[in-house]
Structure 1
Amino acid sequence: DDDGKIRLYAQSLAKQFQLEVHPEYSPIDILADFNSDFPFWFEGDSPIQPNQIGFEELVLHELTHGLGFLSSWSNDYLEEDSSFLTPNIDGIFYNVGDNVESKSVLVFRGFLENAFDKYMILTSDRTRTTELTSELNKFLDGQDKIFLSVNEFIAKFKASPQLNIAKQMYKTCTEANSIEFLANTSNSKNNAVILETSISPFRVGASISHVDENLFNSSDFLMTFEQVLGRTLEDSIAAGGSEGGKEKAIGPKILAILETLGCVPLKIIITNQKLYY
């Protein structure tokens, strides 16, 4: 990255930079699964019911995650529902239970942030969370290390000074209004957006990687972690106080975050009452 750090970028985001040299791309940029048994509401259906959510809003939400709106800080890389957080662990993808046997050899090369994490700051003292990642990467003096098992790695990490940093990050990320995203675009210099940290215990997939839940009735409703039941996309736009059509689905704070990450400024076109990005 431009600050000398190595970070993980979503393929859909990396393509925005039009790099002359790049890894081989997957044929699919964003892959999403949706539960076909859920009673989704689709445009053209009879009026939405209290137990339904609008499918169009859900797709836009997941598309935004696929464009890089996703933090790497999690508590399930090493142990399920642990009381400490770390970014991605180079050598383990997602979490131990799903991807690697606990007795497998682990080559540890450090903790890796997502692009999103570069812009996260602590509300209390404006510390960039990437500085905390740098402190975590002092584990074992920052040297590559081969562990005979993931369990050995866990034991060594738990005995290290870096565990306290990871525990403090867990505490911070389960206290409301404690983490912000510092957007930096031509229209929003150093504009802080409060992220979701009010959920306790920490919930993977909900905590941090969304805007604060208090924005659910604002123009930036799209990236709160819970979609409101019984509300269509048009209803959500109206509840946020926006006038206009579906082009208002992505609010100014969400646009600022995406542009800060490196997305080409989004242009929204409505054709035959359908939404295109």
Structure 2
Amino acid sequence: MTAEQVDIRYIMLHEILHGLGFISSWAAYFENEASPFRSLIEGIIDRDELQLVTPSPYWYINQQMGPIFVTGFQPTMIFDKFLYINNPQSNTSTPESLASVGFDMQNFCVQDNQAFIINFVQEFNRSNQSRTANRLWTCMSEEGTLSFHFPPAAIDNSTYNTNTYLNSTYTTMKLLTGDQALTSHMELSDRNFRPGISISHLDETYNTTPDFILTASYIRGERLEDIVEETYGNIPAIYYNQTINGTITQHQYKSAIGPGILRMLDSMGYSTVLSNTNYTTTGNVKSGKIPSICDDKNNNHGMAQATKTPTASDGLSSSCHLGDIALWGVVLSSVLLF
């Protein structure tokens, strides 16, 4: 491997983790030059009024190749439930929950001619929510302002509770923010616009830790297993217990999926070897969001189903090779419990 090469397994695991839920719906949908919305309003609306960070818009096309209409904002992703923002210009040090901000954003909606994308942005800039969206832009333009907050471990004997290093280290994790984060073309292509992907990475300070796999900059010139050995050599050994056929065995945790990333997965509902959480539900999952009139308006614009806003549930890409899936199924099964 040359000094400029990146281990393909490193890249694959990084992208698979995004697919497992490390993706935010918060982004600069109207300012990012890679966004399809930007070209429709560029030169018509002042750029200062496009500096807004919002959840994914609800949008539709009136007819094939017709104008784009935006009615409001979609519910945010599970990843976003745990995100908190610090305002460097505020006198208080208490971080603000993006989950709560997202609920408020979803209370803004328009219909009919007001939903034409130019009119929508102008209407939104007259709303109270736009001030919040602009404040988020300002905050996320500075480094170290966004973090993932871990909820308490679901079980008392979780390794995150019993291991002193894990318990003191993993209370929050900083995400990627800064001057370039909101306008970055990171992991984007002409046919694949995922603006929230930029902040869906760990801060660059994690690049020398076991959680390196989800930083934005790939480590070059080293095999994945060598990077793992180097980064885990900087921390105390992590051990966990497994019960097999009634026998308790102890194992050392040393995976390319770092313990912080694994705890993020656990927070989002995965059972992992460091927590072994048994997540169950009766099927009656309650939302913390108060019903809004916008819930009906965003889903009842009268357009054909083929022209509605695409969502994550509309289908998964079939571009992955089955062999690759099988390979990383083995890696993931070593740290996730299914």
Shared fold by TM > 0.5? yes
Point out the structure with the larger helix share.
2
Partner of 1:182: 149
Contact 1:119 1:181 (C-alpha < 8 Å) held by counterparts: yes
- SS of the residue aligned with 1:63? helix
Query: Please, which of 8, 16, 24 is the counterpart of residue 63 of structure 1?
Result: 16
Distance in 1 of aligned mates of 2:25 and 2:265: 16
Distance in 2 of aligned mates of 1:130 and 1:52: 39
Deviations 1:167-217 (A, max 9, x none): 111111121111111122344588211111135352235532011110001
Query: Please, which of 127, 130, 138 is the counterpart of residue 171 of structure 1?
Result: 138
Q: Does 1:155 align with 2:134?
A: no
Partner of 1:128: 97
Partner of 1:232: 223
Distance in 2 of aligned mates of 1:246 and 1:198: 32
Query: Please, which of 267, 275, 295 is the counterpart of residue 260 of structure 1?
Result: 267
Larger Rg: 2
- Shift in CA distance, 206/174, structure 1 to aligned 2, threshold 3 Å: farther
Partner of 2:2: 49
Partner of 2:67: 103
Contact 2:75 2:103 (C-alpha < 8 Å) held by counterparts: no
Partner of 1:87: 55
Partner of 1:249: 256
Q: Return the offset for 1:135.
A: 2.6
The answer to which of 80-89 and 57-66 deviates more is 80-89
Partner of 2:77: 114
Residue identity opposite 1:66 in structure 2: G
Residue identity opposite 1:211 in structure 2: L
Distance in 2 of aligned mates of 1:66 and 1:198: 24
The answer to which of 82-91 and 146-155 deviates more is 146-155
Identity value in percent: 23
The answer to which of 249-258 and 169-178 deviates more is 169-178
Contact 1:102 1:151 (C-alpha < 8 Å) held by counterparts: no
- State the Cα RMSD in Å: 3.1
Distance in 1 of aligned mates of 2:138 and 2:267: 27
- SS of the residue aligned with 1:181? strand
Q: Does 1:195 align with 2:186?
A: no
The alignment's TM-score, normalised by the length of structure 1, stands at: 0.67
Contact 1:234 1:246 (C-alpha < 8 Å) held by counterparts: no
Contact 1:199 1:207 (C-alpha < 8 Å) held by counterparts: no
Q: Return the offset for 1:56.
A: 0.4
Greater RCO, 1 or 2 (C-alpha within 8 Å, sep 6+): 2
Partner of 2:315: none
Partner of 1:13: none
- Name structure 2 gaps, 5 residues minimum: 31-36, 40-46, 87-92, 162-169, 185-194, 238-250, 275-326, 333-338
